[in-house]
Amino acid sequence: MSYKSPNSNPSVTADPNNTGQAVSRAFLIEAVLNVASFPLITHPRFVLSLLLLQPHHINPSTVLFARLFGGLVVGVLTPLLLAGVPNTRNAIESRRITYLSLGLGECLLIPLLIGEALKGGKGTAALSPRASIGAIMCLAPPLIWRLYVLLARPDLLGRYKEIKRE
């Protein structure tokens, strides 16, 4: 049995009929938009004051969790998306699992935000209804796109053909 490194993969060429260009561009756009989360790391108190219903409740714990969330978005999700941008074997193969992972996260976050919005800014609500609905509106379109690609048009993820070496 021989082991193979990803670097030793044969060269590939993208299928001209299924290059994955649409998903590749969507990955790049989403990665660039994720960088907008950087202020959660650098200026969490300011960002939280815009989002939270009662900004006077901001404490070291909320600042830490905002920074952790921002760190995950910028440090994990953004590189994951950027890895799927080129039309290489590894990038094309990573697109499906990336969309599944991000979609599952959105499927968990959206109901939490709906619950927060339904509180109407009263009682134990942490976010204003406007902030909750705004967050839902940021998460729902990408989720719908991911579901469309994964369930209806998987060809948009792209395909490749190995180039045989002589």
Model pLDDT, residue 11: 77
Residue 126, pLDDT above cutoff 80: yes
> pLDDT tens across 41-97, in order?
999 999 999 999 999 999 999 999 999 999 999 999 999 999 999 988 899 999 999
Residue 1's pLDDT is 67
Q: Which of 150, 116, 122, 121 is nearest to 135 (CA)?
A: 116
Q: Are 158 and 23 in contact (CB under 8 A)?
A: yes
Residues 130-165 have pLDDT tens digits of: 999 999 999 999 999 999 999 999 999 999 888 776
Residue spans per domain, the chain = 18-154
Neighbours of 71 (CB within 10 A): 14
pLDDT tens, 75-86?
999 999 999 999
In sequence order, the 6+-apart residues with CB closer than 8 A to the CB of 120 are 129
pLDDT at 161: 85
